[in-house]
Amino acid sequence: MGRIILTGDRPTGRLHLGHYVGSLKRRVELQNSGEYDKMFVFIADAQALTDNADNPEKVRQNIIEVALDYLACGLNPEKVTLFIQSQIPELAELTTYFMNLVTVSRLQRNPTVKTEIQMRNFEASIPVGFFCYPISQAADIAAFKATTVPAGEDQEPMLEQTREIVKRFNGIYGETLVEPKILLPENQVCMRLPGTDGKAKMSKSLGNCIYLSDSEKEVQAKVRSMYTDPTHIKISDPGKIEGNTVFTYLDAFCRPEHFERYLPEYPNLDELKAHYQRGGLGDVKVKKFLNAILEELLAPIRARRKEAEQDIPEVYDILKRGSMQAREVAAQTLSEVRRAMKIDYFNDAELIREQSRRFGQE
């Protein structure tokens, strides 16, 4: 049994720095680690449609944005199978069988779904497809026999539910599917990067994102208007680090060599923080430092994206080839699933013989 990675994103917008520290950076490292036998990264369009049924154009437009962001970050289609969820009908089939293994009350207890229902004002009437998306997500993971799912902590309830479903399936039908593990970001800041406004999460709907595809000017403007410490008015005022977004970002992105390069008068981040807390260090200086660090990260991403944008048909072709490969893998699992569930009647020579005997023909 190999070590298999699978993860994906809903195509509801371009990817941002929160996605980068929370997951994309790790994916590229995993891709290059050589420790995994197979890696799948997919665009979860069917899942995006569970709460965007009336807005297919949004999903359609964002498939290419997400694919470009993947390539921009350094995901390499030679090493990773990139595919689109809806192009693998076996996933829908597995979802149907999984639905028999989950209760409504169990779905209602899923904390991620609970919050999402509130966020979308679905309390009064939840689309069935949305309500069941954790089951469909379990099918995404199980169909590829993924052992490892790199994702943020908000996906932990999905993984737990997946493991329950797989256990139940294997218990009833015999060992067929694999129980996956989540691979969380290494540290707390990466787990949930705040938005530029200091709100708990970077999210498109809050309008507080720095996108991987933002221009140098856009990034600069966003960093300049970033939330800091509202009581730090004069440079000489003492400033707070806690809840100060610029410092939270420095915790996430700053490395020792950045000081040598952009701020040699400070030996490290602790000294910078200490000066800010004492007073005498202005926001503008710290923001310029952060901006330089972010540019160093984003400039090559932006350049690779520009390059990929030169040949859009090739990007769709990468997704098409990936989808064909992914489909073969899922089809293999589904034939094992059908056999285990005893619904592969036409390949079941034993069944046909047995029924013949029963009806007195042998």
Q: Which is nearer to ligand TRP, 6 or 126 (CB)?
A: 6
Pick the binder of ligand TRP from 45, 51, 69, 140 (CB under 6 A): 140
**Angstrom distance (rounded) from CA 192 to CA 31:** 22
Smaller CB separation from ligand TRP, 47 or 333: 47
Distance CA 27, CA 54 (A): 32
**DSSP β-bridge partners for residue 182:** 149
Nearer residue to ligand TRP within complex by CB, 8 or 13: 8
Q: By CB under 6 A, is residue 137 in contact with ligand TRP?
A: yes
Answer whether 231's CB lies under 8 Å from 277's CB: no
Closest separation in Å from C-beta 146 to ligand TRP: 7
**Quick check: 7 binds ligand TRP (CB under 6 A)?**
yes
Please give the residue whose beta carbon sits closest to ligand TRP in the complex. Answer: 44
Region 12-71 residues binding ligand TRP, contact defined as CB under 6 A = 44, 47
Stretch that binds ligand TRP, among 5-13, 60-68, 243-251, 260-268 (CB under 6 A): 5-13
Q: Kindly tell me which residue out of 4, 5, 10, 142 binds ligand TRP, with binding defined by CB under 6 A.
A: 10
| Rounded-to-integer distance, Cα 38 and Cα 144, Å | 10
Q: Are 235 and 261 spatial neighbours (Cβ–Cβ below 8 Å)?
A: no
Strands of 2-158, DSSP E = 4-9, 38-43, 81-84, 148-150
Binders of ligand TRP in range 149-168 (CB under 6 A): 149, 151, 155
Candidates 137-145, 236-244, 246-254, 320-328 — which segment interacts with ligand TRP by CB under 6 A? 137-145
CA nearest neighbour of 208 among 194, 189, 224, 229: 194
Type of residue numbered 346: F
Candidate list 4, 8, 202, 294; residue touching ligand TRP; CB under 6 A: 8
- Cα separation, 68 vs 77, whole angstroms: 12
Token pair of 339, please?
Answer: 């056999």
**Smaller CB distance to ligand TRP: residue 6 or 17?**
6
Three-class DSSP category at 96: helix
Task: Please identify, using beta-carbon distances, which residue of 75 and 293 lies nearer to ligand TRP.
Answer: 75
Q: Which stretch binds ligand TRP (CB under 6 A): 1-9, 61-69, 237-245, 286-294?
A: 1-9
| Exposed / middle / buried, residue 133 (Cβ in 10 Å: 0-12, 13-18, 19+) | buried
Amino acid identity, residue 64?
Answer: I
Burial 57-78 (b: 16+ CB within 10 A, else e): eebeebbbbbbbbbbbbbbebe
Binding mask 97-136 for ligand TRP (x = CB under 6 A): ----------------------------------------
Please name the residues in contact with 233: beta carbons below 8 A apart, sequence gap of 6 or more: none
Rounded least distance, CB 88 to ligand TRP, Å: 12
Q: In whole angstroms, how close is the CB of 158 to ligand TRP at the nearest point?
A: 6
Binding residues for ligand TRP (CB under 6 A)? 6-10, 44, 47, 137, 140-141, 149, 151, 155
